[in-house]
């Protein structure tokens, strides 16, 4: 299948279906320096790690970091030309913001959430 399909879900730690890649992203927060380290781990249908990346950026909240980690995960998937991807995050607030049709989004993550929604829309055809 050559159709792109991207979806964001809350963490469940189950492997993805056949022909899908599941990308888990997460952050660790260091309050003193307002730095966040993020990790992106890509797994196949057998649960094996097939790719990934790490990075760090400055943010003032964990929610901002979780949102940015998902953006980085999505950009990573696009750069690797992954076609069928399930993005997994443990941030329930972020999943709600992405799946909501409500136009009011927490201002601190609004730009990134709108970017995520546009990537999901573009990659669901």
Task: Tell me the β-bridge partners of 27.
Answer: 38
Give the model confidence (pLDDT) of 18-65 as tens digits: 999 999 999 987 776 678 889 999 999 999 999 999 998 887 788 999
The pLDDT score that the predictor gives to residue 16 is: 94
Give the model confidence (pLDDT) of 100-125 as tens digits: 887 677 888 999 999 999 988 887 75
The domain spanning residue 37 has which CATH number?
Answer: 3.30.420.10
The pLDDT score that the predictor gives to residue 112 is: 93
Sheet holding 5-10, edge to edge: 5-10, 84-89, 21-30, 35-43, 49-58
Q: Could you tell me if residue 29 is inside a domain?
A: yes
Entry pTM: 0.89
Which tokens hold the place of 125?
């055809």
Q: Could you tell me if residue 124 is inside a domain?
A: no
**What's the chain's length in residues?**
125
Taking a C-beta distance cutoff of 8 angstroms, is the pair 9, 36 a contact? no
The pLDDT score that the predictor gives to residue 105 is: 79
Task: Tell me the β-bridge partners of 39.
Answer: 26, 54
Task: Report how many domains make up the chain.
Answer: 1
Q: Could you tell me if residue 110 is inside a domain?
A: yes
Domain with 53 in it: 5-119
């Amino acid at each position: 299948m050559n159709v792109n399909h991207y979806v964001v879900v809350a963490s469940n730690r189950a492997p993805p279906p056949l022909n899908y890649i599941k990308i888990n992203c997460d952050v660790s927060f260091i309050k003193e320096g307002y730095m966040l380290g993020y990790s992106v781990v890509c797994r196949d249908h057998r649960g094996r790690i097939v790719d990934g990346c790490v990075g760090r950026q400055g943010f003032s909240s964990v929610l901002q970091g979780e949102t940015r980690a998902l953006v980085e995960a999505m950009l990573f998937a696009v750069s690797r030309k992954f076609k069928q991807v399930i993005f997994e995050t443990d941030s329930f607030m972020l999943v709600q913001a992405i799946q909501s049709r409500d136009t009011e989004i927490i201002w601190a993550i609004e730009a990134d959430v709108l970017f995520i929604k546009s990537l999901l829309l573009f990659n669901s055809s």
